Amino acid sequence: MNLTNNTILITGGGSGIGRGLAEAFHALGNKVIIAGRRPDVLEKTTDANPGMACVTLDINDPTGIRSFAEEMIEFHPELNVVINNAGIARLENLKDHADSAKAEAIITTNVLGPIRLTAALLPHLLKQARATIINVTSGLGFVPFPVMPTYSATKAFLHSYTESLRFQLKDTAVEVLEIIPPYVQTELGGATQTTDPRAMPLQDFIAETMQIFKDQKTVENCVERAKPLRVAEATGSYDKAFAMLGQLVLDPSHL
């Protein structure tokens, strides 16, 4: 992926990892458009980054995604990079049947959202001289967090989907990359996660992620903090990693 002269769409770009990536790519001179459901959050980000654009998108609305894609292509015909970053996480008690509503919401946002947006924009991306699709997964896609079973499963799905998408597009000008974050200081797991010393500082994560992009050595952008989970199965440390995650406790107030 060329790191400059792109027009980049980032979903969930108003906060957390999405905002961090948006600001990093914006600083390199790319045209960046962030999308999300909260206009106030999006505008706060663009106000802090003159020249960055924002568009409201409900990633859970199939019809809205199609019209959003049409709007992107009409107003940003040079669009050539899509970063599927929007996602939600929820604690779940699988013994509580009422929790199935949480699971359905997570799947709609984390799985159907990227699938629908990719499908809507892919015909346009295939016409570009070069284009990139980047899916943001998680180390939890390789070793699940037991109290976030559906979230972990959606990230495992997205990793698998990304590999198949890459294979099917291998003879085109569209490259498919994956970002595999560890536990990062964002609000994904509640307000206390932003200062949790066990989590990787967001600025450090973004800096290392961008350096990996600059090195361009792999289709999987996996920082050092995420590698123990990524390789746990292959190195025989899966059971230990899974047990470690089973001992973690998060702030349930946000979830």
Which residues are catalytic, by number? 151
Q: Which long-range CB contacts under 8 A does 101-107 form with residues at least 24 apart?
A: 102/150, 103/149, 103/150, 105/60, 106/150, 106/151, 106/154, 107/150, 107/154
CA-to-CA separations, 242 to 2, 158, 198, 245, in angstroms, rounded? 36, 20, 16, 5
In sequence order, what DSSP letters do the residues of 58-105 get, joined into one string?
A: -TT-HHHHHHHHHHHHHH-TT--EEEE---------TT-GGGHHHHHH
Residue type at position 228? P
CA distance 166 to 154: 18
Asked if 107 contacts 150 with a C-beta cutoff of 8 angstroms, the reply is yes
CA distance 165 to 187: 29
Residue type at position 246? G
Place of tokens 């590999």: 163
CA distance 253 to 250: 9
